[in-house]
Amino acid sequence: METVAKKILTPEERQANVDKFIKRWKEEKAKDEQEARDRFKTPEYQAILKKLREKNAKRGIIIPEV
C-alpha cells in the first residue's frame, strides 16, 4: 500500500488554514440564517407553525400567536 507523506505545515500555514475555514464558515452561516428567516415568512411555514401551536395546545402548552 502506498503511503502518502503528509506535509507538516508551519504554524503560519496552520493559522491561515484555520482563519480561512472560519471565514468561510461564518459566511455560510450568515447565508443559512438569512434563508431560514426568509422561509419563516412564507405562508407554508406559518401553516406548519400553526399546526405545531395546535399540537402543543393539546398538551397544555400555549404558544401565543405572533
Partner 1 sequence: MQKEVLLSPKYDFNFIGGDKNSFTFQTVHKLTYEITFKPTFCLFGEDSSFAPYTFEFSIILVDNPADKLPQLDKAILPTIASIFADFFEKAPDTIAIYICDSSDGRQLIRHKKIDTWFYYYKHIFVKIDSQFLQKYGTIYPVSLIIKEYHPFRTQIFDEFLNVVNGYNAGK
User: Which of 18-56 are b and which e, b meaning 16 or more Cβ less than 10 Å from the residue's Cβ?
Assistant: eeeeeeeeeeeeeeeeeeeeeeeeeeeeeeeeeeebeee
Give the number of residues in contact with partner 1, rule: CB under 8 A: 38
Per-position x/- string for 36-55, each x denoting binding to partner 1 as judged by CB under 8 A, each - no binding: xx-xx----x--xx-xxx-x
Residues binding partner 1 (CB under 8 A): 6-9, 13-15, 17-22, 24-26, 28-29, 32-33, 36-37, 39-40, 45, 48-49, 51-53, 55-56, 59, 61-64, 66
